[in-house]
A and B are shown apart, each in its own frame.
Chain A
Amino acid sequence: MALSILFENGCQHLATEPPVFFTDLNLDQVVDAITAQREEYDLKPYFYTALNTVDSIQYRHEIMQDIEKQDVLDRLKAFSKDMSSVRAHLAQADKLYYSRQKERWMLDAVSIYFNAVQKLSEDLLAADLKSRGLLAFRNFLKEHIESDQFTSFQSEARRLTDALNTIRYCMLINGSSIRISRYENEADYAAEVETTFERFKQGTVKNYMTSFPDYVDMNHVEAGILNVVARLYSDTFSDLSTYCSNLSRYIVETVSVFEHEVQFYIACLDYIAKFRQAELPFCYPQVSSDCKEILCNDGFDAALALKLIEKKLPVVCNSFYLKGRERIFVVTGPNQGGKTTFARTFGQLHYLASIGCPVPGRKAHLFLPDKIFTHFEKKETIHNLRGKLQDDLIRIHDILQQATLDSIVVMNEIFTSTTLKDALFLSKKIMERIISLDLLCICVTFMGELSSLSETTVSMTSMVVPESPSLRTFKVERMPANGLAYALSIAERYQVTYDHLMERIAP
């Protein structure tokens, strides 16, 4: 089996469809942005497939950290550019009709390939690598390019290319015939004319060269000429034919798998670079499969942040942590205050960590879940309230059925389509189940009561600008869900805080 730089123990089964929560967490946008302009590599399945051990995540982190060094990244990009040129050449060769033309395209493809592989090997040997994956690949490559097969094919390709490049032939066009002969150092007549008039040169003048369309294909006349040229230089051309017919499977699987898989890393790093340019941090999370004490400093929703960066708008980062027995974030606060974004951030971070990617944030300790569940409001259907509530309940029921002790649940605005009393009742019931399962959970709600259900719940509140409560800061902070921050800011403005009143009220 070929060496893999994505899976240490060989390729695992890849998902072809995105996980169901992708859209809820904006991960579809994230993955679209990462894989944009790399469609030919079909990278999405790698992003759809979460890893299940901390070690396999570590395996990717090591490789990512090696590739992250600018020189290594540049070299790998150059390599994949060469490889796509090889593919383009071969595809072109396939399409062509005349064999002498086909053979030249193949020779070019092979030459590019050999040079690219050799260069890659040299580059990797020069690079300071630490990852298991790249070290193994480097060793493989070194052996490969030192093999007899590789060196003999490569030198023959060089020899043939040189020989073909030095060929020059003459065509005497007279009437409807072309007489072809070897080029015998005939003088360049255009140059002669130019020399004659050299003395009049007054500076630059315009170019009168007609440009001719340059087709890849040959027409029958060109092919006929090429055949004669091939006869005039029969040694070179017969060597070329022999060489091409002996070429088979010269692209080794390990190299092509590598080139494919390395796109995962390049794509991620290119994506992250956009954020770093806007001074938004990405970090390698510390991932654990047993400790649920999570932490994140300055996390953000990558999908939203990218849109804001493009519009040159500021991005608000949020920090959060869970300690000891704490498991559940209950997020409350004014509408449009960044609650949903906060919940998405929480979900995105955990998912991105589970595929071995760096995550949006300055520092992160995250939990490796077996599954992630999301419950986001489905499209409103106002005329069928009863059906919707029912649908909500069924979905939550399903989630709770499938969830294990290692799952993560993200709930956004549950039970908005019923009375407060009902909603509170249902929510409490659901929350009790979640608490008893000891799930990691984030729950966005308008019901502040949920935040004090147990010692495992943590209350987070989206903040407003104190002086002007209608302005959102999009900050979500640990804060009791009693709306005090909001009230305090108004008190401040009307100078009725304690300090103010102490001063204002006369003795």
Chain B
Amino acid sequence: MKVFLMYRDRDFDTQAVMPSNELLLTQDLELKTLFNAMSGGDSTISEVVRKALLMGADSLNTIQYRQNILKDCLKNASVVHSIYDIAVASITARKKHYYGIFTRYPDSVLRNALELMQVLVSLLIELKTIAETHIGAFDSEGFQAFFTMLMDNLSDEYLLGIRNHMEYLRSRKGVLISAGLGTGNKGVRYMLHRFQEEKRIWWKQLWQAIGKCFFIRKQIENIVRISERDESGARVLTELRNKGMNLVADALARSADHILGFLDTLRMETAFYVGCLNLHDLLVEIEEPVCFPLPLSAERRKLQCIELYDVCLSLIMRRKVVGNDLNLEGKDLVIITGANQGGKSTFLRSIGLSRLMMQCGMFVGARYFCSDVCAGVFTHYKREEDTAMNSGKLDEEISRMSDIADDIRPNSVLLFNESFAATNEREGSEIARQITCALMEKRVKVFFVTHQYEFARIFHEKKMDNVVFLRADRRQDGSRSFRLMENPPLETSFGEDLYHSVFTGSLSGKKAGNTTYGSLHP
């Protein structure tokens, strides 16, 4: 019995090794905010969504598979929540019937296993009932298969068979064991057999009594009796019985573990969808649009979106934020320039987030989103600390770039945020240029937010078809729209604006000449 709600043909691997850039990615894309929103305080969900987001799905096919399941979840939220609750209940049961290391004796193992099994079987029956009741309301291939699997595998007669075993194990009186002769003719290879006590019928009893009279020798011969006062004999007898029970106790305890394993997988896999439902609720509440993205092959280069926004920003702001509309086709390099606090970082984050969300089968924060998938998302952000130690900082940045180079593959996405600016512009641009050219030739999809005009200019002058320039838009009055437009780089950013904004508290006091500042280098 397999859950298969994350993949069509395999379990979600909670032990999978996370990408080596996990911490950087989490930090740079503010993923903690997303995880917290999705988990709603449930540590299981938090863990599962973290893994699902960072690992991504393995194919377009799987993305589609999960999207369909998620659509079903959005339709039947309460049913999904109750499936998750059933799965969670198995953990509670396990904690209660935990086999402590000090109770490792067949009798107690068996007793614990029986109690646990009782609970687990009732959880399975609950699941089966849900399947029977709601199968009609679900359209996705995943849920159809899951419900059918439950109904097929948990037929009434099968459940009866289980109950039968448990009944027998609970009530057993005699124990029938077989053994072979081992070293020194001691008993080995113990095996337990099912022993049905014969119903005592009066004439049978009489017959046996008569038999005893005539064949008394035979009767005594094959029986070893332990006298009441023989304490060591009684101990041996208990041990012998335990040796037989050992096997069945082990079998039952392991079976209980397997059922737990099944329910645990169910818990992990539904946790992902419950997390998506939680996020959905939050975004709907602040009236942010969400959509199921249209993923394209990793070989493609396309980014078409309407109102693509930074989900984490709106979660923090608890309100609708500005989104961007783009329609890029065949671009390997996107260079983003423009005003400080003009929404460049937010845009970069929305690019990273939307790709991660799309690739694990989620909806994304946009009204419309269509993009190629990627082999992995990498970030290279300027670190704000140690501003004083410029050379050490560049060293650190380049070493991080070297780490990325170890892991990055063609068709990955690499998001640079003001990288290699820890030196003078000429050198920084040259480093950035060399790295970027190499990455492009290696078919890496590069998004580069930069203030370094020199760097942007080099690519701009080449007039390459596969390079596009976005610029943080600036309204005529100097205020930011936080929207990015396709525009060539400008030699200066709008730091002076920011200065005024901070020091004068308003933009209205600006000198008139400043408004034309941006048009010096069209």
Contacts and interface: CB of A to CB of B under 8 A. Distances in A.
Physical interaction between A and B? yes
Interface in B218-248: 221-228, 232-234, 236-237, 239-244, 246-248
B262 A202 contact: yes
Contacts of B241: 173
Interface of B is mostly: helix
Interface residues of B, number: 67
Interface in A257-295: none
A180 B224 contact: yes
A256 interface: no
Interface in B147-192: 153, 161-162, 165, 173-181, 183-187, 189, 191-192
A446 to B, nearest CB: 65
Interface string A217-235: 0111110111011011000
A179 interface: yes
A188 to B, nearest CB: 5
Contacts of A180: 222-224
B181 to A, nearest CB: 5
Contact of B105 (A105, A186, A202, A210): A210
Interface string B64-103: 0000000000000000000000000000000000010000
A218 B192 contact: no
Contacts of A183: 178
A194 B265 CA distance: 20
A207 interface: yes
B426 interface: no
B237 A178 contact: yes
B339 interface: no
Contacts of A226: 185
Contacts of A192: 165, 194
B187 A225 contact: yes
A463 to B, nearest CB: 54
A177 B223 contact: yes
A301 B241 CA distance: 64
Nearest to A195: B251
Given A169-B178, A205-B254, A176 B226 contact: yes
A192 B11 CA distance: 27
A101 B105 contact: no
A381 interface: no
A172 B175 contact: yes
Interface string B101-119: 0001110010001000000
Contacts of B236: 219-222
Interface stretch (A133-141, A160-168, A386-394, A472-480): A160-168
A96 interface: yes
Interface in A181-219: 181, 183, 186-194, 196-197, 199-203, 205-210, 212, 216, 218-219
B481 interface: no
A174 B195 CA distance: 11
Given A187-B193, A190-B247, A171 B222 contact: no
B427 interface: no
A327 interface: no
B152 to A, nearest CB: 10
Contact of A218 (B178, B186, B247): B186
Given A96-B184, A209-B246, A171 B153 contact: no
B61 interface: no
A104 interface: yes
A108 interface: yes
A170 B177 contact: yes
B187 A208 contact: no
B178 A168 contact: yes
Interface residues of A, number: 61
Contact of A221 (B189, B193, B233): B233
Contact of A193 (B11, B227, B251, B259): B251
A158 interface: no
A105 B186 CA distance: 11
Contacts of B226: 176-178, 221
A105 B182 CA distance: 10
B16 to A, nearest CB: 14
Nearest to B193: A186
A100 interface: yes
Interface string A63-96: 0000000000000000000000000000010001
A233 B455 CA distance: 94
A84 B42 CA distance: 63
Interface in A305-334: none
Given A169-B178, A187-B193, A209-B247, 9 more contacts: A174-B175, A197-B255, A201-B258, A202-B262, A207-B250, A210-B249, A221-B237, A228-B222, A229-B181
Interface of B: 1, 11, 99, 104-106, 109, 113, 153, 161-162, 165, 173-181, 183-187, 189, 191-195, 221-228, 232-234, 236-237, 239-244, 246-255, 257-259, 261-262, 265
12 contacts: A100-B185, A101-B186, A168-B178, A172-B177, A173-B177, A177-B225, A186-B176, A186-B194, A208-B99, A210-B106, A218-B186, A226-B185
